Amino acid sequence: MSDPAMNVPFGRPWITDEDRRAVMEVLDGPVLTHGPKCHEFEHTFSASCGGGESVTTSSCTSALHLAYMHLKTAPGDEVVVSALSHVATVNAIEITGAKPVFVDVDPVSGNMVPALLEQAITPRTKAVALVHNLGIPCPMDDIMAIAQAHDLPVVEDCATALGARWDGTHVGLIGMAGCFSFYPAKHITAAEGGMLLAKSPEVAESIRRIRGFHYDRGLAERSLPGIYDVNGFGMNFRMSELQAALGNSQMGRLPEILQRRADNFAYYRQRLGGLPGIRILDSGHAKSQSSHYTLSVVLEGKAGARRNEALLWLKDHGVGTSVHYPHPLPRLAYYREKYGYDASRFVNAATIADQSVNLPVGPHMDEASLDYVATQFTILLKELQQ
Ligand SMILES: *Cc1c(COP(=O)(O)O)cnc(C)c1O
């Protein structure tokens, strides 16, 4: 039944001749980092999102870190954070000395539950850290109402949510800042790289300063070469011109990338949605427009207990899968050992971590590979349920 010639990866970077030319052009010029290509990428990005100011960064991790450096979170502070995300979401809080306070997620979407956010807020809470899980926007009306009632800034991890919108507004433009990733597996890539999107020009300007050593004046503003002062604490979290040229070139294909991901997601849903004993993560909310990072299938009952077997079976049959994420954040050894882990508080995050299989929906998928993945998955599911 399985076709030995088939080998479908979970993701594959899509690099065109135009991308290559854009990078080579930088190498032929005088500016290799933090120059006109970064500015061009920032403008393209804001225009694509429909507003805000964009700040290029070295990664999404550094964009998140910059958000908390701007907020000056510190030991004694707490930040409420979704229990299901990439470790970067919580590491950016941890490095500032603030304490992450994890809350469980909704079983349908994998997103932060507003009522649990509200319960977790204390007088020490300084911010809210959410992630739009796999490109599915969080219920932002409820989350923003709670955050605003407690005067708390919201940092949106949008690493897998480029193109996702809540009630028509692009994610990252709802809270204080949105942080995006251009790691190869994401919607568009710059090899490595990130973007911080802020609706407030003051926040964007503050982040720009911290990103570049907090110099009091840029190269162009220095009347004496090499003479500057440092009027705040900053780091080097900048992006190179090579990365910016690649990212900016890729932005031109974003509408096509989003359309193909949506079509591929819809194809699987049609083929797999009716199968017994599984559920597919989705928002279930009319205001939510997903960016379809992957199609996440949660195996239930007997099959749920055999998830790792399923991953191996699919690998052996040439189907690339992934798991987002292998543990709820508070169950990762570092966080478990530091803060303790109460399994009863993170049941939904643990179910998704332990029982889900994520299927490839990227633009590398053609009709034959989609059909192959859906067919193999259907065969596998029957075997697991026997
Ligand atoms: C990939 C990812 C990150 C990390 O992005 P980098 O650019 O590799 O630092 C953070 N959060 C989420 C949700 C991610 O998927």
The CA 136 to ligand 1 mean position distance, Å, reads 15
Lowest mean pLDDT: which of 29-43, 53-67, 215-229, 363-377?
215-229
User: Which pLDDT score, from 0 to 100, does residue 219 have?
Assistant: 78
Instruction: Give yes or no for residue 159 CB within 6 A of ligand 1.
Output: yes
**Rounded percentage of the chain residues whose pLDDT exceeds 90:** 95
The CA 86 to ligand 1 mean position distance, Å, reads 6
Mean pLDDT of 72-87: 98
User: Which pLDDT score, from 0 to 100, does residue 19 have?
Assistant: 98
**Cross-strand bridge partners of residue 357:** 297
Which of 61, 186, 296 should be mutated for ligand 1, with most atoms under 8 A from CB?
61
pLDDT of residue 2 exceeding 80, the answer is no
Cα(first)–Cα(last) distance of the chain, in Å?
Answer: 18
User: Which pLDDT score, from 0 to 100, does residue 283 have?
Assistant: 85
- What pLDDT digit, counting tens, does each position of 341-359 carry? 999 999 999 999 999 999 9
Instruction: Give yes or no for residue 181 CB within 6 A of ligand 1.
Output: yes
The CA 339 to ligand 1 mean position distance, Å, reads 23
User: Which pLDDT score, from 0 to 100, does residue 1 have?
Assistant: 57
- What pLDDT digit, counting tens, does each position of 103-119 carry? 999 999 999 999 999 99
Cα(150)–Cα(141) distance, rounded to whole angstroms? 15
Q: Count how many residues are written for the chain.
A: 386
The CA 220 to ligand 1 mean position distance, Å, reads 33
Instruction: Give yes or no for residue 100 CB within 6 A of ligand 1.
Output: no
Instruction: Give yes or no for residue 61 CB within 6 A of ligand 1.
Output: yes
User: Which pLDDT score, from 0 to 100, does residue 205 have?
Assistant: 97
The residues, any chain, with a CB within 8 Å of residue 50's CB and separated by 6 or more, are: 169, 170, 173
Q: Which phi-psi region, left, alpha or beta, contains residue 50 (left: φ > 0; alpha: ψ -120 to 50)?
A: left
CB neighbours (10 Å) of residue 12? Answer: 15
Which of 157, 158, 323 should be mutated for ligand 1, with most atoms under 8 A from CB?
157
User: Which pLDDT score, from 0 to 100, does residue 386 have?
Assistant: 87
Confidence of residue 220 (pLDDT cuts 50, 70, 90): confident
Instruction: Give yes or no for residue 88 CB within 6 A of ligand 1.
Output: yes
Mean pLDDT of 96-102: 98
Instruction: Please state the pTM of the whole predicted model.
Output: 0.97
The CA–CA distances, whole Å, from 1 to 7, 9, 169 equal 14, 19, 45
Of all protein residues, the one whose alpha carbon is nearest to atom 2 of ligand 1 is: 159
pLDDT of residue 129 exceeding 70, the answer is yes
Instruction: Give yes or no for residue 85 CB within 6 A of ligand 1.
Output: yes
> Which H or E run includes 127?
strand 125-131
